[in-house]
Structure 1
Amino acid sequence: MKLGGYSAHKKSVDILNGLLVACNYTLFNRTQFIDNKNLPLGRPIVFVANHQSTYDIPPMIYFLRRFHAKFISKVELLTAGIPSISFNLKHGGAANIDRKDPKQSIAEILKLANNMKQHNWSAFIFPEGTRTKTGKMKSFSVGGIATLLKKNPNALVVPVAINGSYKMVEYGSFPLRPFTHMTWEVLDPIDIQGLNPEEIVKKAEDAIRLRVKEEN
């Protein structure tokens, strides 16, 4: 970032996340990413996904790197001093929201929405708000998605269904569970014409639920 600007910074982030994905194989875990090659470039996309673990993130950044997608992240990760990750959240274009401060959260999401419009960036959002520990999906919230679409009415809304990553952290951060099959499936865009934000989010949630394998 300091030597080569945005382009160099993004390439380093892509490489970092590719290496993080590769680390899964040291545990004999399988990362299966089912891409959607029909998605257009040069147009903002809001990728809407269910959230099962921290390990949901690297495959999305790496395999969808062509879309320059940024995360809506909690501000605690920005200030945690996590090597590489905190720096990227600060300088890479993410919206770092304080969930205790609605005014600050809206301002951050609006900043991301404006960058999407100006640079044709995309966004990743987990509308459940928090990770599930059991794989069972929570209801999606509308707020962040509504703000992004208000500023980018031509954006595509693309659901992403994540399966199995919660199993890898079944015992917490250590030890990670080996021999886990995890999948990320990029679904077809949602036709949002004539729909309000609540209806759009409901369609995304329903599409993802059809693909997520929930265990009782």
Structure 2
Amino acid sequence: MKLLTVFRSSIFFAGHIATLIFFVVTAQVLWVAPASVRYAYIHLWARFTIRWLKWTCGVNYQVHGRENIDLSKSGVILAKHESAWETFAFQEFFPRQTFVLKQELLKIPFFGWGLKMMGPIAIDRKAGRKAMKQVIDQGTEKLAQGVWVVIFPEGTRTRHGKIGKINAGGAILAQRSGVNTYFVSHNAGQCWPTGSLLIYPGTIDVYISSPIEPSEFSVEEINQQLEDWFKAHLTPLSEFKTEVPKP
């Protein structure tokens, strides 16, 4: 089984990287196009990645609470961050979105170039208040344009079963913008663990909360609700729905 996992993971990453290079290189002609067009094109690669992951590694997913998403207006998504999976999968069931991420990611060849084309909010995490102001200013601007903002409040990927320190930036943006805010938890780290090149078959469960009206709560109260949501949906390893993909 371990050899099969290695083989399938290798096939996935080979296709993943090859298609990334193709999409990013061909997308360069779109710099003269509107941001929405650039997003739509790179978005195709993200959706392909999710399907390629299913075909090669047997990774499926199911969304609980999809009906909670109000598609009529933009919102803030405060989400668990366990792997690379969610950065692709969220584009399957949430509208056009942008991510708050560390600016170093934009320097990664091809991957960073593709990220830049999607108009992320790239911050210097060492900049303190300046970075916070950037998140609030650019996040508010994106929301006003109808673009959803995805923030991983833990700041970096955490192993499944762990909850990192929840930073205040996401809650502050939500509170000041007053838009619908969603808490999203999942167990992607059980299929695609952080720091690992091995991807395991199984079904990832995504839990989307009903939207809250952040202006009714303090930043501390928002983050407490978020932490409670994360804790309530930590899937024990014994309950993880593993699957053996067909050859």
- TM-score (norm: length of structure 1): 0.84
Which residue of structure 1 aligns with residue 18 of structure 2? none
Contact 1:190 1:203 in 2 (8 A): no
Q: Aligned to 1:199, which of 218, 221, 231?
A: 221
| Separation in structure 1 between the aligned mates of residue 194 and residue 154 of structure 2, nearest angstrom | 22
Q: Aligned to 1:125, which of 151, 156, 159?
A: 151
Contact 1:145 1:197 in 2 (8 A): yes
Q: Aligned to 2:48, which of 16, 19, 26?
A: 19
Which structure has more helix as a fraction of its residues?
Answer: 2
Deviations, residues 67-108 of structure 1 (Å, cap 9, x unaligned): x22110011101122x2x422432322111111122541343
Letter matched to residue 136 of structure 1: K
Whether 2:186 is the aligned partner of 1:157: answer no
| Separation in structure 1 between the aligned mates of residue 80 and residue 73 of structure 2, nearest angstrom | 23
Whether 2:75 is the aligned partner of 1:45: answer yes
| Separation in structure 1 between the aligned mates of residue 117 and residue 233 of structure 2, nearest angstrom | 34
Which residue of structure 2 aligns with residue 114 of structure 1? 140
Q: How does 1:39-78 map to 2 (within 5 A)?
A: 39-64=69-94, 66=95, 68-78=96-106
How far did residue 18 of structure 1 move?
0.6
Shift in alpha-carbon separation, 1:4–1:171, aligned structure 2, 3 A = closer
- The count of aligned residue pairs is 208
Which residue of structure 2 aligns with residue 34 of structure 1? 64
Deviations, residues 90-136 of structure 1 (Å, cap 9, x unaligned): 23221111111225413431342232343122111111112112432
Q: Secondary structure at the match of 1:100?
A: helix
Letter matched to residue 66 of structure 2: N
Q: Secondary structure at the match of 2:181?
A: strand
Deviations, residues 29-77 of structure 1 (Å, cap 9, x unaligned): 222233523432342311111111122210012221x2x2211001110
Shift in alpha-carbon separation, 1:211–1:195, aligned structure 2, 3 A = same
Identity %: 22
Letter matched to residue 132 of structure 2: I
| Separation in structure 1 between the aligned mates of residue 122 and residue 173 of structure 2, nearest angstrom | 15
Contact 2:158 2:194 in 1 (8 A): no
Shift in alpha-carbon separation, 1:88–1:103, aligned structure 2, 3 A = farther
Question: CA RMSD for the aligned pairs?
Answer: 2.4
- TM-score (norm: length of structure 2): 0.74
Q: Secondary structure at the match of 2:165?
A: coil
Runs of at least 5 residues in structure 2 that lack an aligned partner in the other structure: 1-29, 239-247
Which residue of structure 1 aligns with residue 231 of structure 2? 209
Shift in alpha-carbon separation, 1:171–1:194, aligned structure 2, 3 A = closer
